[in-house]
Amino acid sequence: MPKPNSLEKGTVIKSTGSRYKILTGGGNVVESCIRGKLRMNETRKTNPIAVGDEVLFETDRKTGAGIITALLDRRNYILRKSSNLSRHSQVIAANIDQALLMITVKMPETPVEFIDRFLVSAEAYRIPAIILINKTDLYQPDDLEKMYSLESMYRNIGYRTMHFSITAGFDPQPLVELMKNKVSLISGNSGTGKSSLLNTLNPQLRIRTEKISDYHLQGKHITTYPEMYPMPFGGFAIDTPGIRGFGVVDMERNEISHFFPEIFKTSKNCRFGSCLHIDEPGCAVKEALACGAINPLRYRSYLNIVEADDRKYR
């Protein structure tokens, strides 16, 4: 009788949907696939196992390849839908300490609604989110004005923001302090400099980066699969492909406001407990909007998510 292969525990550091790289406790990296039975279980998710997942795997004695046999309980995870109306969702990463959203005011411009959809998801999965604004070297006075007003909008709500230029006069220290000994997800639209940041923090990495398109002023989707990298100061960072749109997942209409902290706080004073803050009488959110206490950009993002949700039920 052949001896059964021994089971080992490891962390998924790369996932292409069919092939996985696993980091073992001993620091080895094992190329793996996934046992068929495991794959069947979760039908609505395009990827049953994601970067950051802890798994059990067997090693084939002959080839040295791993076979994932079990997914261990997740401490947390963050999901997105590829579009609002899509029924399929994708686990972006699991077991993360924080999500860093890298945005740019131009080259490319990150839309506020994109930021807000990301923040809503992070709130929904209770993952602390921090906004990083990159490419300040490119900003003219009007761009800088826009940047400061974004920062003040998000700081007033309670989000931490930082701004810098990775390629001009970058001081890594604030990021080192932020990311030290933590698992950080780096997210954002294509071309904002996510991979560049990780190359700068860990020069051994040499992750591929590419100039954005001159014509569309958009990134070219250079990073194609999420991958987790060790950081020299302790901890890991997960580089992810630039996302086009961020669909929020499975929320009831009356739940969406819970993930806009300032709207949620204000909504306690609405006349009706069921208020959706659209056109109900005695709506404290509409009042706060009228007097400038709630930012109209945030309210617009809120409405767009509620209305996208509306379409789902038609």
Ligand X SMILES: Nc1nc2c(ncn2[C@@H]2O[C@H](COP(=O)(O)OP(=O)(O)OP(=O)(O)O)[C@@H](O)[C@H]2O)c(=O)[nH]1
- Of 181, 227, 237, the closest CA to residue 22 belongs to 227
How is residue 45 annotated by DSSP?
Answer: B
183 belongs to the binding site for Zn ion (CB under 5 A): no
Report whether the peptide linkage leading into residue 108 is cis, meaning its omega lies within 30 degrees of zero.
yes
CA distances in angstroms from 142 to 8, 26, 106, 243, 312, listed in the order given: 55, 51, 11, 26, 38
We find the least distance from the C-beta atom of residue 239 to Mg ion, in angstroms, to be 6
283 binding partner (options ligand X, Zn ion, Mg ion, none; Cβ < 5 to 8 Å by kind): Zn ion
3 class by beta-carbon count within 10 Å (0-12 exposed, 13-18 middle, 19+ buried):
exposed
48 belongs to the binding site for ligand X (CB under 6 A): no
Residues 171-230 that bind ligand X (CB under 6 A): 188, 190-196, 209-212, 219-223
Q: Which of 68, 285, 289, 305 binds Zn ion (CB under 5 A)?
A: 285
We find the least distance from the C-beta atom of residue 82 to ligand X, in angstroms, to be 15
C-beta of residue 278 within 8 angstroms of C-beta of residue 306: yes
Single out the segment in contact with Zn ion by CB under 5 A; choices: 45-53, 107-115, 202-210, 274-282. Answer: 274-282
195 belongs to the binding site for Mg ion (CB under 5 A): yes
# of chain residues touching ligand X (CB under 6 A): 26
Single out the segment in contact with ligand X by CB under 6 A; choices: 75-83, 133-141, 145-153, 265-273. Answer: 133-141
We find the least distance from the C-beta atom of residue 264 to Zn ion, in angstroms, to be 11
- C-alpha span between 78 and 72 (Å, rounded): 16
* Terminal-to-terminal C-alpha distance of the chain: 59
- Of 142, 63, 119, 118, the closest CA to residue 264 belongs to 119
257 belongs to the binding site for ligand X (CB under 6 A): no
Q: Write the single-letter amino acid at 5.
A: N
Q: Where are the beta strands (DSSP E) in the chain?
A: 7-15, 20-24, 29-34, 54-59, 66-71, 77-81, 89-94, 98-103, 129-133, 160-163, 182-187, 227-230, 235-239
Q: Which of 59, 95, 110, 223 binds Mg ion (CB under 5 A)?
A: 223
288 belongs to the binding site for Zn ion (CB under 5 A): no
Classified as helix, coil or strand, 154 is helix
Single out the segment in contact with ligand X by CB under 6 A; choices: 59-67, 68-76, 165-173, 289-297. Answer: 165-173
289 belongs to the binding site for Zn ion (CB under 5 A): no
For residues 169 and 273, which CB has a smaller minimum distance to ligand X in the complex?
169
We find the least distance from the C-beta atom of residue 283 to Mg ion, in angstroms, to be 42
- Of 20, 18, 14, 58, the closest CA to residue 39 belongs to 18
275 binding partner (options ligand X, Mg ion, Zn ion, none; Cβ < 5 to 8 Å by kind): Zn ion
Residues 110-129 that bind ligand X (CB under 6 A): none
Instruction: Summarize as ranges the residues that interact with Mg ion (CB under 5 A).
Output: 194-195, 222-223
